[in-house]
């Protein structure tokens, strides 16, 4: 009884709030829109600045951008909030959450539908193919609003390269050469020459795309929910075993899960790292040495390597309030207007040049190129060039990944890698275990989302 | 027995006795040594934290662990208190002042709520006879077996249904039921002599009057002792606030601190984190140290 | 001790009990029932689809090697914490019980960690054992002992054990001291006249007298290590590396809150409830004896 009373009074409060909200609109106060993001500083501040610029550009809507922890935490918070009928209007969702969000058709409103309904126009024709493919439905309609798309590149400390007797202008192209370089750096007294951020994204996802090997069946999951992991293949085993051996040899340092290793290059502990191109902003700010950007290495005896890398980063999703709670037209309209603001060439270009994330469109890239930006900022175009490597034609393996529950699978692979680095298992067992455990997640997701 | 001791003391010149004196002295040094070691092991992390909180971010970030105070105490604490650090990397940056206030309100409400609710129900169980008395008592007792940790998701769902997530009420109400406090008060009420109640009856006092005039004043020490324990219990809540609070305006300091650390990146703003850690442990430690006597009494008598 | 029931009336006592009963019902029994119900379902993360699957979740949990690993971790962790915290506390309590100068001050300096939240205790020890910024962590690495609790599972387990036990020593210390002080002086003096050496005297006479306290503390410590250390693990290792510090409670959290596998998490909750009821039954036997004491 108490429960019902409480629920009723809470409902009354909500209604009162809604009424107040409507009254506020009538009086001309802006519609408040919640936007949860998962970017730490300095990127988070830059994103909040964009929201503030949007707010200052008009009076009808107010975007309230707040940080909710890292990407994974933001995803969990948004889903929990949805169950509580308290979801944000916009959530920033990392790329591997795409399949989960897409499957939850009643929780999100796809961008194409949002634009159609509100009459706002955004031209997606010109969006970089790697980005567009990742966030669109099979028929090409956009499901979410691409925002901070990155790809992974190598960052290296040129001062240390000089110290190790290496050419500071030429980062090794192949993994074989990377190992040699690391040995020289180690000999020159650098305790841990190599590290990586996002171990799964870099060493499994990007690796598979670049070498044109499938990560999962059904075209990496684009073909249906019944896909299975295929990471237990000879090339993957070879690379993992190399990492394990290099770790043992002291050439490679495991810096932790997700982006925990981001600080190891700028702090001068490691000589080179593989990380999101979006790390550029942080390195610019913190590194007290000369550094360079390079494309990801590959094994030159693999038949189709090197292909384009895939994207990472995040896109923005328009969310319903809850299972039984909708949104007002004004709210949807505000979200659409904000997305259109983000797609404006000057906003997108500034975000790209400030942060190192990819430009949204090809024409945006050409415009920035025309300003001479890449001449002054050597290396800022490496991620884009790498996205177009191999001719810019995406194969089934280099288009992206669409697997449900993939954040959990990422963690599983990271866990199995940690086990291997502790000396508990070799590369083959690592990949066998990861495949077995990952497939359990895929099957559970398939069952839960059958409808 | 006492005579034997006296006799021993009298024979001071005995060489065997001198040896035993030397042994006693050695034992005493041993005792001091062990206790000092214990005190140091207990205090070392605090010392490092306290000292670290007075240095600038780069000193700690470089790994030069300072053992003596630096000159940045004021700015670090001001930054932590009012802005949650300098926000160089910590996007969340909830001011420690707000988090401390939230923790204080939460701990006080939990302790007070638990005491009031337990006093009332223990009083009903002991001084009344009503149908279902023992059944209710056992119902309360059995909650000992269901800590929130084992029913995370469904309890969260209940909070969602009641619209209590992200509210102070949601932080407090679910944890104010207390089997242990009820048990303690029941034990204590059972020791109140029958005559008191009979005298009250003869005076024409009703049950509420008796509760207010007799039982409550008699329980004062127990309440004080329990308050200390429950305040600390409330202050140290972790999983529950972690689950139901996403609004930074309601962040408590214990959870907020662990969020500041994230995954332990060496580039964290460690000086602000250390200052916040000191601020987070100061209030409950002060309560324990200042109210030591009540605290020990409360602890040993409630048996958790 | 009085036994008579004093006041008549049926409504008033019910009203007095109402707040306690309402909260217990809404926040304990209702969710416990829900846990059982949702352990029989399979649900998507957003709560949009649900299927009844019977006992399938239980079968999966019990067959899951990572769950068994977590159970093993929990046993190692809980026993280590209890043994470490109890033995350190007993040693300190025996020393502090001796009539020496400054014993009051020692007591104060030894009980304050009780007030420190487990998560804060974890943070304090992180400042010591962090491989890059910690005093001891750096010293170990400088001495060529590769220390990184974020990569080495054994080291991670050691660290969470130390941080968890550290905080619990104070609690045990208070009880052991109270237990020691309740031993009649005459018994101790008689023993010392017997000429028994202090160490033997302790094990043959004092320790047996402390056994009720020890047993009580053992169950309390195990319960503490089971539940209250969530904060330590969450703040220090997040269950890693490679699940090396993932306890059963932590796994419920990871599966339910992070991976949003609600059915699996609920099934684990129900299994835990059964374990807790068993543990409480043991503890209860002791409390009951105390009640009639």
CB A99 within 8 A of CB A222: no
Instruction: Look at residue A56 in the predicted model and tell me its pLDDT.
Output: 94
Does the pLDDT of residue A58 top 70, yes or no? yes
pLDDT of residue B88: 55
- Residues of chain A with pLDDT > 70: what percent? 93
Q: How far is C233 from chain B (nearest CA, A)?
A: 11
Mean pLDDT over A333-354 rounds to 92
**What crossing angle do the helices spanning C207-223 and C65-97 adopt, rounded to 10°?**
140
Residue B187 sits at the chain C interface (C-beta within 8 Å): yes
Q: What is the mean pLDDT of residues A244-249?
A: 95
Q: Dump pLDDT digits (tens) for A127-164.
A: 888 898 899 887 889 999 999 999 999 999 999 999 99
Residue among B5, B147, B182 minimizing CB distance to C227: B147
Distance from CA of B251 to the nearest CA of A (A): 12
What is the rounded average pLDDT of the residues A53-72? Answer: 90
**Pair B279, B100: CB distance under 8 Å:** yes
How would residue B92 be classed by pLDDT, with cut points 50, 70 and 90? low
- Model confidence band, residue A12 (pLDDT cutoffs 50, 70, 90): very low
DSSP A153: E
Point out the residue among C92, C166, C189 whose CB comes nearest to the CB of B1. C189
* Residue A17 pLDDT: 47
Give the nearest partner residue to B160 out of A66, A83, A286, using CB atoms.
A83
**pLDDT-derived band at B57, boundaries 50, 70, 90:** confident
Interface of B with C in 41-60 (CB under 8 A): 41-46, 48-49, 52, 60
* pLDDT tier, A247 (very low <50, low <70, confident <90, very high otherwise): very high
Per the listing, tokens 């290296």 go with: A156
Question: What is residue C292's predicted lDDT score, i.e. its pLDDT?
Answer: 36
Residues in chain B closer than 8 A to A68 (CB atoms): 246
Q: For B200-223, what is each residue's pLDDT tens digit?
A: 888 888 888 888 888 899 888 888
**Confidence bin at A240 (pLDDT 50/70/90):** very high
Most confident of the following: A333-337, B73-77, B161-165: A333-337
Query: Which pTM value belongs to this model?
Result: 0.85
Higher pLDDT, B285 or C215: B285
Domain ranges for chain C: 42-292
Q: Using CA of residue B34, residue B39, residue B44, residue B47, what is the dihedral sign?
A: negative
Who contacts A257 (Cβ-Cβ below 8 Å, separation ≥6)? A199, A411, A414, B263, C240
Confidence check: pLDDT of B256 > 80: yes
Catalogue all structural domains in chain A, each as residue range(s) with its CATH number: 17-149+312-367 (3.40.190.10), 151-311+396-448 (3.40.190.10)
User: Which of the residues B64, B145, B204, B272 would you substitute to probe the C interface, choosing the one with the greatest number of C C-beta atoms within 10 Å?
Assistant: B145
Looking at the predicted structure, is the pLDDT value of residue B9 above 50? no
Helix (H) / strand (E) element for A94: namely strand A90-94
Between chain A and chain C, how many beta carbons pairs sit less than 8 Å apart? 73
C23, C116, C234 ranked by CB distance to B285: nearest: C116
Average pLDDT, chain A: 88
Look-up of token digits 């503890």: C283
pLDDT at B141 over 80: no
Q: Chains touching chain B at 3 or more Cβ pairs under 8 angstroms?
A: A, C
Q: A69 to chain C: which residues are within 8 Å by CB? A: none
Residue B4 confidence (pLDDT): 44
Distances (CA, A) of C5 to B124, B166, C258: 10, 44, 52
pLDDT tens sequence across A15-55: 444 444 454 445 568 999 999 998 876 788 889 999 999 99
The predicted pLDDT at position C286 comes to 62
Give CATH for domain C42-292: 1.10.3720.10
Residue of chain B whose Cα is closest to the Cα of C186: B1
A98 close to A402: Cβ distance less than 8 angstroms: yes
Residue B161 touches chain A, beta carbons under 8 Å: yes
Phi, psi of A66 (to 5 degrees): -130, 150
Pull the structure tokens for residue C224.
């503490």
Look at C30 and B174 and tell me if their CB atoms are within 8 Å.
no
What is the rounded CA–CA span in Å between residue A69 and residue A38?
Answer: 5
User: From the first residue on, what is the mean pLDDT of each consecutive set of 10 residues in chain C (293 residues)?
Assistant: 66 89 88 88 85 90 92 95 95 84 84 90 89 86 85 92 93 89 78 70 81 84 87 89 91 88 89 82 62 36
- Please provide the average confidence, as pLDDT, over all residues in chain B: 82
Confidence of residue B87 (pLDDT cuts 50, 70, 90): low
Is residue B36 classed exposed, middle or buried when 0-12, 13-18 and 19+ CB atoms within 10 A define those classes?
middle
DSSP three-state, residue A275: strand
In this predicted structure, what is the pLDDT of residue A221?
92
Q: With a cut of 60, say whether residue A392 has pLDDT above it.
A: yes
- Which residue in A has a C-alpha nearest to residue B169's C-alpha? A6
| Residue C10 zone, left/alpha/beta (φ > 0; ψ -120 to 50; rest) | alpha
Which one of C8, C23, C290 has the shortest CB-CB distance to B177? C23
Q: What is the pLDDT of residue C32?
A: 87
Residue C6: what pLDDT? 74
* pLDDT at residue A9 in the model: 47
Domains, chain B, with CATH or none: 14-83 (no CATH), 96-302 (1.10.3720.10)
DSSP 8-state secondary structure symbol assigned to residue B193: -
Chain B residue with minimal CA distance to A3? B162
Q: Is C43 on the interface with A (CB under 8 A)?
A: yes
Q: Which residue has the higher pLDDT, B75 or A188?
A: A188
Contacts 24+ apart (CB under 8 A), B216-224: B216/B119, B218/B192, B219/B119, B219/B185, B219/B188, B221/B294, B221/B297, B222/B184, B222/B185, B222/B188, B222/B298, B222/B301, B223/B115, B223/B119, B224/B291, B224/B294, B224/B298
Cβ-Cβ contacts under 8 Å, A6 against chain B: 162-164
Whole-Å CA distances, B285 to B231, B302, C117, C220: 11, 20, 10, 21
pLDDT at B114 over 50: yes
**Predicted complex ipTM:** 0.85
Residue A110: pLDDT over 80: yes
State the pLDDT at residue C3: 52
Contacts C265 to B, Cβ<8 Å: 152-153
3-class state of residue A152 by DSSP: strand
């Amino acid at each position: 009884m108490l429960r019902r009373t409480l629920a009723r009074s809470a409902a009354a409060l909500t209604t009162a709030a809604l009424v107040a909200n409507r009254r506020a609109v009538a009086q001309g106060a802006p519609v408040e829109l919640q936007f949860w993001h998962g970017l730490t500083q300095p990127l988070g501040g830059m994103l909040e600045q964009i929201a503030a610029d949007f707010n200052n550009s008009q009076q009808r809507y107010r975007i309230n951008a707040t940080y909710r922890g890292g990407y994974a935490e933001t995803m969990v918070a948004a889903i929990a909030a949805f169950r509580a009928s308290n979801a944000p209007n916009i959530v920033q969702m990392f790329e591997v959450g795409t399949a989960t969000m897409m499957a939850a058709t009643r929780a999100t409103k796809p961008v194409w539908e949002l634009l159609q309904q509100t009459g706002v126009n955004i031209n997606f024709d010109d969006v970089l193919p790697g980005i567009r493919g990742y966030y669109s439905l099979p028929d090409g309609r956009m499901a979410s609003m691409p925002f901070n798309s990155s790809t992974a590149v190598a960052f290296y400390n040129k001062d240390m390269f000089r110290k190790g007797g290496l050419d500071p202008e030429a980062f090794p192209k192949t993994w074989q050469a990377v190992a040699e370089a690391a040995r020289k750096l180690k000999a020159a007294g650098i305790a841990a020459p190599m590290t990586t951020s996002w171990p799964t994204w870099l060493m499994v996802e990007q690796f598979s795309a670049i070498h044109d090997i499938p990560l999962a069946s059904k075209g990496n999951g684009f073909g249906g929910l019944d896909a299975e992991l295929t990471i237990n293949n000879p090339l993957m085993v070879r690379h993992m075993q190399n990492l394990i051996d290099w770790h043992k040899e002291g050439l490679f340092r495991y810096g932790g899960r997700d982006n925990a290793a981001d600080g190891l290059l700028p702090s001068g502990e490691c000589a080179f790292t593989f990380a999101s191109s979006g790390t550029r902003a942080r390195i610019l700010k913190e590194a007290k040495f000369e550094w360079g950007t390079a494309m990801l290495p590959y094994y030159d005896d693999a038949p189709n390597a090197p292909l384009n890398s895939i994207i990472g980063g995040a896109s923005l999703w328009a969310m319903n309030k809850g299972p039984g709670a909708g949104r007002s037209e004004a709210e949807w309209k505000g979200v659409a207007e904000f997305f259109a603001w983000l797609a404006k060439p000057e906003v997108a270009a500034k975000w790209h040049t400030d942060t190192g994330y990819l430009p949204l469109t090809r024409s945006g890239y050409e415009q920035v190129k025309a300003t001479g930006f890449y001449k002054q900022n050597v290396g800022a175009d490496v991620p884009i060039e790498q996205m177009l490597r191999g001719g810019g034609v995406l194969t089934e393996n280099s288009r992206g990944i669409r697997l449900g529950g993939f954040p959990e699978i990422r963690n599983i692979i990271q866990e199995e890698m940690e086990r291997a680095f502790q000396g508990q298992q070799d590369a083959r067992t690592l990949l066998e275990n990861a495949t077995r455990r990952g497939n359990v997640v895929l099957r559970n997701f398939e069952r839960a989302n059958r409808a | 027995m006492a005579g034997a001791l006296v006799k021993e003391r009298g024979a001071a010149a005995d060489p065997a006795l001198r040896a035993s004196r030397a042994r006693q002295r050695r034992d005493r040094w041993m005792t001091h040594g062990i206790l000092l070691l214990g005190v140091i092991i207990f205090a070392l992390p605090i010392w490092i934290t306290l000292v670290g909180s007075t240095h600038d971010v780069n000193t700690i970030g470089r790994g030069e662990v300072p053992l003596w105070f630096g000159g940045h105490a004021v700015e670090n604490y001001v930054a932590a208190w009012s802005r949650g650090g300098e926000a160089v990397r910590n996007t969340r940056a909830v001011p420690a002042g707000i988090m401390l206030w939230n923790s204080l309100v939460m701990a006080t409400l939990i302790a007070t709520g638990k005491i009031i609710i337990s006093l009332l129900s223990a009083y009903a169980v002991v001084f009344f006879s009503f149908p279902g008395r023992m059944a209710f008592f056992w119902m309360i007792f059995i909650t000992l077996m269901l800590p929130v940790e084992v029913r995370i998701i469904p309890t969260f769902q209940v909070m969602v249904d009641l619209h209590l997530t992200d509210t102070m009420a949601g932080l407090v109400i679910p944890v104010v039921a207390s089997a242990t406090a009820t048990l303690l008060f029941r034990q204590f009420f059972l020791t109140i002599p029958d005559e008191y109640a009979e005298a009250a009856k003869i005076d024409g006092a009703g049950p509420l009057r008796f509760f207010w005039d007799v039982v409550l004043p008699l329980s004062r020490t127990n309440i004080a002792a329990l308050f200390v324990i429950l305040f600390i219990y409330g202050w140290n809540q972790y999983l529950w606030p972690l689950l139901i609070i996403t609004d930074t305006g309601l962040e408590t300091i214990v959870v907020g601190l662990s969020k500041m650390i994230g995954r332990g990146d060496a580039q964290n703003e460690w000086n602000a984190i250390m200052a916040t850690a000191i601020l987070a442990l100061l209030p409950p430690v002060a309560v324990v140290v200042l109210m030591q006597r009540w605290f020990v009494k409360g602890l040993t008598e409630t048996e958790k | 001790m009085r036994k008579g029931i004093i006041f008549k009336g049926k409504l008033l006592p019910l009203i007095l009990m109402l707040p306690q009963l309402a909260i217990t019902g809404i926040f304990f029994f209702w969710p416990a029932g829900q846990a059982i119900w949702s352990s029989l379902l399979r649900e998507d993360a957003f709560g949009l689809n649900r299927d009844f699957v019977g006992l399938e979740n239980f079968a999966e949990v019990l067959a899951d090697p990572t769950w068994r690993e977590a159970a093993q971790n929990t046993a190692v962790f809980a026993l280590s914490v209890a043994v470490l915290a109890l033995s350190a506390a007993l040693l300190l309590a025996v020393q502090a019980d001796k009539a020496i100068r400054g014993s009051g001050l020692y007591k104060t300096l030894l009980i304050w960690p009780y007030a420190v939240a487990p998560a804060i205790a974890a943070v304090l020890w992180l400042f010591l054992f962090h491989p890059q910024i910690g005093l001891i962590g750096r010293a170990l690495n400088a001495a060529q002992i590769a220390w990184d609790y974020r990569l080495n599972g054994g080291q991670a387990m050691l660290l969470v054990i130390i941080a968890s036990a550290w905080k619990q020593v104070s609690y045990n210390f208070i009880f052991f001291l109270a237990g020691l002080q309740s031993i009649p002086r005459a018994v101790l003096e008689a023993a010392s006249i017997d000429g028994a050496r202090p160490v033997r005297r302790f094990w043959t006479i004092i320790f047996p007298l402390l056994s009720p306290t020890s047993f009580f503390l053992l169950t309390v410590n195990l319960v503490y290590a089971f539940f209250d250390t969530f904060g330590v693990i969450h703040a220090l290792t997040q269950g890693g590396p490679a699940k090396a510090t993932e306890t059963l409670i932590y796994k419920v959290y990871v599966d339910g809150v992070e991976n949003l596998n609600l059915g699996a998490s609920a099934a684990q909750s129900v299994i835990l409830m059964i374990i807790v009821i068993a543990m409480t039954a043991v503890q209860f036997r002791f409390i009951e004896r105390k009640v009639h004491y």
